[in-house]
Amino acid sequence: MALVDKYLSISVVSHGQIALVASLLADLAKYCEGLSFECLLTLNITEELPFDPDGFPFPVIVIRNPQPLGFGANHNKAFQFSNGRFYCILNPDIRLMDNPFPSLIECLEDPAVGLVAPLVLGALGKPEDNARQFPSPVKILCKAFGKCRGGDYDVAGSVIRPNWVAGMFMLFRRESFESLNGFDERYFLYYEDVDLCARLRLENLDILLCPESRVVHLAQRASHRNLRYLRWHLQSMLRFFVSTPYWRWQFRRCKDALRLS
């Protein structure tokens, strides 16, 4: 493991999204001046860079995969090259409006907090539901039939403590990510963020959404258009529902409910 000498490490994975990455790096250069950070850019497939990695005011470390890896495996691999006190997972389709990190890191100063996320806005400026309760088969079916609409939390004002936050933007204290051995790489795509948050919760580490920090998500929604992504989504969902973290969390909920009744 590399020595920690940067304030922040940002992991970005491109899977044919290098144009989005270029825009994201330009945002980081524009809005995050004065912040000590590095960007670990993983090229999950062969791509030509439309920019010079040395042309930014922060280090850009390029990792080229000989073959594609899953979401979690890529960010776990990047973590091994990172030097930051904090570790950020950032999707290429995130755009910045200002520097989101100071207020997020302030939320993360409490050692009982393992993970924080900003309020995520859609392209039209409306909040997305990146903060959610843990899914259940009943709730999935309810959503599939159009009955359970709307977000799980009111994200309009103060800091909230959701069950989990989506993997498009996740900021960890380094030791929190390391203590869990990162993402479970058996999830190739989808639900690895849900699983990791469940394991954080089981370690009694809090998860916060800090709405003072805001970013924009130019959502791709690949599983809505591509059968291969839809298959990955369904496989990951089933894996989570039979996983040990899911059932341990359900057992804890039942025990807490009985204690309070």
Statement: residue 222 has pLDDT above 60: no
Q: Is position 12 within any domain?
A: yes
pLDDT at residue 223 in the model: 45
The CA-to-CA distance between both ends of the chain, in Å, stands at: 47
Q: Is 172 helix (H, G, I), strand (E, B) or coil?
A: strand
To the nearest 5 percent, what fractions of the chain are helix, strand and coil? 35, 25, 40
Spatial distance between the Cα atoms of 67 and 63, rounded to a whole number of angstroms = 12
Structure confidence at residue 258 (pLDDT): 81
If you search the block for the tokens 């298959």, which residue do you land on?
A: 231
Sign of CA dihedral 221, 226, 228, 230: positive
Report the chain's mean pLDDT, rounded to a whole number.
Answer: 90
Q: How many domains does the chain have?
A: 1
Residue 220 has pLDDT above 90, yes or no: no
Residue 57's pLDDT band (boundaries 50, 70, 90)?
Answer: very high
* 164 in any annotated domain: yes
* CB 149, CB 139: distance < 8 Å: no
pLDDT exceeds cutoff 80 at 78:
yes
Asked if residue 204 has pLDDT above 70, the reply is: yes
Name the burial class of residue 139, with classes exposed (0-12), middle (13-18) and buried (19+) by CB atoms within 10 angstroms of its CB. Answer: middle
Residue 124 included in any domain:
yes
Contacts of 46 (CB under 8 A, 6+ apart): 64
| Torsions phi, psi for 242 (to 5 deg) | -110, 10
221 pLDDT more than 60: no
The reply to whether 116 falls in a domain is yes
Asked if residue 93 lies in contact with residue 220, where contact means CB atoms within 8 angstroms, the answer is: yes
Give residue 138's domain range: 6-260
Residue 145: predicted pLDDT? 67
CA distances to 62, 148, 216 from 95, rounded to whole Å, are: 20, 29, 5
Could you read off the pLDDT of 240-255 as tens digits, one per residue? 999 999 999 999 988 8
- Residue 79: inside a domain: yes
pLDDT the model gives residue 261 = 65
Average pLDDT over residues 87-103: 97
pLDDT at 225 over 70: no
Give the tokens for residue 195.
């699983």
For 14-52, the pLDDT digits (tens) are 999 999 999 999 999 999 998 999 999 999 999 999 999
Handedness of CA 195, 104, 11, 114 (dihedral sign): negative
Q: Kindly report, residue by residue over 141-164, the tens digit of the pLDDT.
A: 777 667 777 678 877 678 999 999
Q: Is residue 22 part of a domain?
A: yes
At 68, is the pLDDT very low, low, confident or very high (cuts 50, 70, 90)?
A: very high
Q: Decide if 228 is inside a domain.
A: yes
Least confident of 137-146, 216-225, 235-244: 216-225
Q: What CATH number does residue 130 fall under? A: 3.90.550.10
Element (H, E) at 245: helix 244-260
What mean pLDDT do residues 151-179 have?
Answer: 90
On whether residue 1 sits in a domain, the answer given is no
**pLDDT given for residue 154 in this prediction:** 78
- Residue 2: per-residue pLDDT: 42
Q: What does pTM read for this prediction? A: 0.91
